[in-house]
Amino acid sequence: MSSHFFDGSSPKRYEATLKIRPEGISFETERGTLDWRYEDLIRLWDYRPGEHLALTHGKHQDSRLVIEEADAISEIGQHAPNLVNRSRERLKSVRIAGALAGGILLLVAAIYFLVPPIADRMARAMPWSFEAKDAPELAQLERFIGKTCTASRPNQVLYDMTDRLLAAANFPHPITVGVTNRKTPNAFTFPGGKIVLLRGLIDKARTPNEVAAVIGHEIGHVVNRDHTERWIRNNVLSAATTMLFGFNPTGSIGESLFQSGLALSFSREDERDADAFAIDLLNQLDLDPSGGAAFFKRLSRSGGLGEILPDYLNTHPESEGRAEYFREHGTGTKQALSPADWLILKQICVTTG
């Protein structure tokens, strides 16, 4: 076995005669003699390290010196062990990996602690038209959550109750509430102020105040601009993900909505704020919150219904705790609808669009 040298400017292989010195390697080729000091050398570990030693010069990294003589490699190891012993290289790799992991953790911590309050301020300052342009079309909604219930008189009862809640909310932009014919007890808030209740939620409710509490909660999501805030948070996370891993999972608000399969689980803080908003609306209208409390408690015992869409318990967590919150903070005494209107509302899905 012999040593050879590549100068980096041509593919020609030059035979090299080595002289190992305490301060470096001197080698002679047909082109002349070169002196390489150990501190200038870089080990090329991908050159089968068990069979030979491959080096390049820090200032001439296109060049290669490949040493195959075992005695020469051993002697180099005595003067420059870092060129032969890979443990130092591994330690360096571990340090680099640790620094990268630390940087990622810092980035995640910054996103977790700094993004939510910033996103909240940005969302509330964002023009309503930004969210309204991504409001899903009716046909798009019906594809996922059933046909719209169009019974005239029940819908009018629903609109009247909703209008009283919206008046108390004093929100300057339009909010619409409708019902679709699906038996899962759930409610969704979509971009642009669209609130949709599923028939199962009205079927499960025992008093009109249970439905009013849910509508008030969803109005809270609209007023607090939770969709826009969530979209901003997701895009900040997307930017970080793209930077770290090279792919971007998010798009517009509407795209993000349907990519998530309609399981619109807001943050726990968003849910608490929406509950507080609902309680405030009920209190302003002197509506008894115990119905809402009983509804959430009942849902916490019932669990899911095994359908494709999750029920209200799954998308709005901690139903038992929310029931207690409604009981403790509510002050109203009245019902949102008369007994006659409540029976009419229960028939809202007799006809569908």
Mean pLDDT value across the chain: 80
Whose CA is closest to 269, among 126, 164, 119? Answer: 119
Count of Cβ atoms closer than 10 Å to residue 23 Cβ: 12
Share of the chain above pLDDT 90, in %: 35
| Integer Cα distance of 324 and 322 in angstroms | 5
Mean pLDDT throughout 338-349?
A: 96
Is residue 195 very low, low, confident or very high in pLDDT (cuts 50, 70, 90)?
very high
pTM for the structure as a whole: 0.63
Is residue 112 very low, low, confident or very high in pLDDT (cuts 50, 70, 90)?
low
Q: Is 277 exposed, middle or buried, given 0-12, 13-18 or 19+ CB atoms closer than 10 A? A: buried
Q: What structural domains and CATH numbers belong to the chain?
A: 3-84 (2.30.29.30), 127-345 (no CATH)
Is residue 260 very low, low, confident or very high in pLDDT (cuts 50, 70, 90)?
very low
Mean pLDDT throughout 178-183?
A: 93
List pLDDT tens digits, range 267-316: 778 888 988 999 999 999 999 988 777 777 776 555 433 333 444 444 45
Bridge partners of 54, per DSSP, are 66
Check residue 311 and give its pLDDT. 46
Check residue 212 and give its pLDDT. 95
List pLDDT tens digits, range 228-242: 888 777 777 677 666
Q: Is 157 exposed, middle or buried, given 0-12, 13-18 or 19+ CB atoms closer than 10 A? A: buried
